Amino acid sequence: MDRLSAEGYQTDKGANYLAYYESFFSPHRHRAVNLLELGIHRGGSLQMWRDYFTYGQIFGVDLNPVAIPESSRIHTFVGDVGDLGIFQRIEAETGVGVFDIIIDDASHTGAGVRTSFEHLFPERLAPGGIYVIEDWGTAYMKDWPDGMAYKAAPGTNGHGGFASHEAGVAGYVKCLTDHVARADIGVGGGRIEAHPIEFMTIAPGLVFIKKSP
């Protein structure tokens, strides 16, 4: 595989997603990375990551068992990503407890994404690692469990605030921007117990969060 492509794999990651993934992941593709994906559906994306990261170990967790042809570099586990014991089991069975890349393609709900991120980012993501939140646009879907149709909100009281869509994953992503601003928060006299985020890139459907080295 010369470039990241979903052709031949059972995955719903479209070309727009893959273009962003390529831009972030290409510097790492020939390194011995450990990649963890939450929510793997039919398992096609794990095979795609295996073939893209030539020396990578690929780990996946899903509520349902997934049948994938035997591969020494793919490790699948059945469990609820909200049950943090599953990650202890992965470490016990494989010896890998810290990952270079974590992709959350599981619940797509604000509470679910927050639970995974607030455990995995500080404890299970390597310094300098990349954490990805997929499909954060579910927050704008009124039929999604915690989504809500977007409506242009009226302005605030003139003190510098802006009305904002705060439902679902979008609301949590916006909370994470405060962590990026931790230095300015301190200068301004505020305080925050911040995650060590070096930067965030917000793209259509995807959020890339780089952990500080």
Compute CA distances 138 → 2, 76, 105, 180, 195, whole Å: 32, 26, 12, 23, 24
Answer left, alpha or beta for residue 130, where phi above 0 means left and psi between -120 and 50 means alpha: beta
pLDDT, tens digit, 9 for 90 and up, residues 46-56:
999 999 999 99
pLDDT, tens digit, 9 for 90 and up, residues 39-91:
998 899 999 999 999 999 999 999 999 888 878 899 999 999 989 899 999 99
**Residue 60 is inside which H or E element, if any?**
strand 57-62
Per-residue pLDDT, 42? 86
> Domain boundaries in the chain?
15-138+195-211
CATH topology of domain 15-138+195-211: Rossmann fold (3.40.50)
Over pLDDT 90: what percentage of the chain?
84
Please tell me the pTM assigned to this model.
Answer: 0.95
CB burial readout 178-205, b (16+ within 10 A) else e: ebbbbeeeeeeeeeeeebebeebebeeb
Q: Is the predicted pLDDT of residue 163 greater than 90, yes or no?
A: no
Compute CA distances 162 → 81, 89, 119, 121, 148, whole Å: 34, 44, 30, 29, 18
Q: Report the chain's C-alpha Rg in angstroms.
A: 18
Quote the crossing angle between the two packed helices 110-124 and 85-94, to the nearest 10°.
Answer: 40
Q: Is the predicted pLDDT of residue 157 greater than 70, yes or no?
A: no
Cα 194 to the chain's mean position, in Å? 18
Instruction: Identify the band that residue 29 occupies on the pLDDT scale cut at 50, 70 and 90.
Output: very high
- Asked which of 1-15, 133-147, 171-185 is least confident by mean pLDDT, the reply is 1-15
Residue 211 token pair:
């952990």
Coil vs helix vs strand at 108: coil
Query: Is 195 annotated in the active site?
Result: no
Coil vs helix vs strand at 123: helix
Q: Which residue has the higher pLDDT, 188 or 160?
A: 188
Side-chain half-sphere CA neighbours of 129 within 13 A: 22
Q: Please name every residue paired with 34 in a beta bridge, in sequence order, or none if there are none.
A: 57
Instruction: Identify the band that residue 123 occupies on the pLDDT scale cut at 50, 70 and 90.
Output: very high
Instruction: Identify the band that residue 159 occupies on the pLDDT scale cut at 50, 70 and 90.
Output: low
Q: What is the mean pLDDT of residues 141-157?
A: 84
How many Å apart are CA 211 and CA 179, to the nearest integer?
A: 11
Catalytic residue among 108, 119, 179, 195: 108
Coil vs helix vs strand at 100: strand
